[in-house]
Chain A
Amino acid sequence: MKNRVWIIVLSLSVLICAVCWLYISNLSPLSQIVGIYQNGTLVEKIDLNSVTGKREITLSGEYGKNTVLVSNGHIMMKSAECPDKLCVKHGELKNGGSPIVCLPNRIVIKFEDTSYSADAKTGALR
């Protein structure tokens, strides 16, 4: 009888923990806050999780215009007027990866709170 009570209590505890864990992990996914910087100054901070629909942000610099495309959970450089377009070729910004960088127009797009745990990364811009 005593054993049965303990089994029920333990099972309930495990169930409650599992439900809580699922609830928390669904409610607070990894931080998706991205900063767009130009010349070292913050232009805009965006929480990619709270973006609805598609949005374009245009930045101007010495080498023409850059257009940033933002949608729910995603950010990328859609177009650039500089010659090499490395920022466009970079594709989507990934947490833990290199920031999107436009060297000619001094633009950096990066996650504010990276999931990445090492102190530095070699071979990638960070």
Chain B
Amino acid sequence: MAAAVLCCSACNFNSRYDSEFFAMDTIMTITAYGSKSESAVKTAENEINRLDTLFSVQNKDSEIYKLNRDKSIVVSADTLAVLSRAKEFYVLTEGAFDITTEPLTRLWGFYSGLENRVPSKEELDNALKTVGAEHIKIDSSNITLDENTSIDLGGVAKGYASAIAAQTLNDNGVSSAIISLGGNVRALGSKPDGSDWSVAIADPDDNSKQIGTLAVSDAAVVTSGGYQRYFEENGQIYHHIIDTETGYPAKSGLKSVTIVSEDDTLADALSTALFVMGLEKSSKLYCENSTLFGAVFVTDKNEVYITDNIKNSFSSQHDFEVIKT
């Protein structure tokens, strides 16, 4: 009996499959364990590529590109699911999470092929008139955008894709895997030895370092930070997370926000939203929704705050404050 168990664990350990590939404008890695890992990972990769061709804002064949161009189209079940969830997050975060920021992101030049620049106040004010989820109408699978409104699923697409990838791996016989879609991490099950996966949170000032690690199983861990994409003009730094109240990059006193949740799509959306909202408003949202997510905040002063529902899974050399419900 003992020999059989040893043999099985040895077999499982040996059948590890790693994949690294490009999709959704980033680099992705999947590491899966078990005898079926190779075929399961390839199927998951195909699923991510399929979603990429639906959600891309720049690919002329994508549903989102066609929706932005034609303003009214019938969409697939996946696109409908993401749009519906995006509207749900817009309400939950009182507008801090918003997929109608495409015209603003374009003005700031945060799309590949564009030059980064600081737009004029007039340009931003004009673009802001088209912003807000109320400009998106969902009528079963028929989606209509108001004139001049355009959407970008960048804040939820990877979250949705990691949920689908994890589900695909599971459906194809994998129960232990770790996925990273450009830094959006998803742990499927626990490690082959039964212990939790260790997920480090990048130090916003130097991503070769870390501010701490979280021990997780069956959860998504997603971080948003101004350090991830930015440009400098006249000594001023402009990052890619736009506050739809002002049209400018969010200045909320935070360097990064990490969300832990069983719901990948929610984790992705909230990491952006809480970065925009700042520590105080985020703490209030957490108190009202502590069963949905946990969060780690790094402030501009390099203070670390963590919500009490995940504090026991966090280890760090930094001092940290606990946000209580």
* Interface residue ranges, A against B (CB under 8 Å): 40, 83-84, 86, 94-99, 101, 103-104, 106, 108, 116-126
Contact = CB atoms under 8 A, between A and B. Distances in A.
Given A101-B27, A108-B27, A122 B200 contact: yes
B213 interface: yes
Interface of B: 20-22, 25-27, 29, 31, 112-115, 178, 180, 182-185, 187, 191, 197-202, 204, 206-210, 213, 221-225, 228-229, 256, 258
Contact of A123 (B115, B197, B202): B202
Nearest to A84: B112
B98 to A, nearest CB: 22
Contact of A121 (B183, B187, B228): B183
Contact of B200 (A94, A99, A108, A120): A120
22 contacts: A83-B114, A83-B115, A95-B208, A97-B208, A97-B209, A103-B25, A103-B26, A108-B20, A117-B198, A119-B31, A119-B198, A119-B199, A120-B187, A120-B198, A120-B199, A121-B185, A122-B202, A122-B222, A122-B258, A123-B183, A123-B256, A126-B183
A73 to B, nearest CB: 14
A26 B104 CA distance: 53
Contact of B183 (A84, A106, A124): A124
Contacts of A104: 112
B202 A124 contact: yes
A116 to B, nearest CB: 7
Contacts of A99: 27
Given A119-B197, A125-B27, A83 B208 contact: no
Contacts of B22: 103, 106
A126 B225 contact: no
Contacts of A83: 112-115
B27 A96 contact: no
A26 B73 CA distance: 65
Given A83-B114, A98-B207, A120 B185 contact: yes
Given A122-B199, A123-B258, A97 B191 contact: no
B21 A40 contact: yes
A5 B72 CA distance: 91
A103 B24 CA distance: 10
Contacts of A122: 180, 183-185, 199-202, 221-223, 258
Nearest to B267: A122
A58 to B, nearest CB: 21
B224 to A, nearest CB: 8
Given A83-B112, A118-B198, A119-B178, 9 more contacts: A84-B113, A118-B199, A118-B200, A120-B200, A120-B221, A122-B199, A122-B201, A126-B29, A126-B180
Contacts of A106: 22
B116 to A, nearest CB: 8
A14 to B, nearest CB: 29
A90 to B, nearest CB: 10
Contacts of B208: 94-98
A120 B26 CA distance: 16
A109 B154 CA distance: 25
Most buried by A among B20, B197, B202: B202
Nearest to B199: A120
Nearest to A86: B229
Contacts of B183: 121-126
Most buried by A among B184, B185, B229: B185
A118 B202 contact: no
A96 B114 CA distance: 30
A98 to B, nearest CB: 5
Nearest to B220: A122
A123 B198 contact: no
Contacts of B224: 123
A39 to B, nearest CB: 9
Contacts of A108: 20, 27
Given A83-B115, A125-B182, A119 B225 contact: no
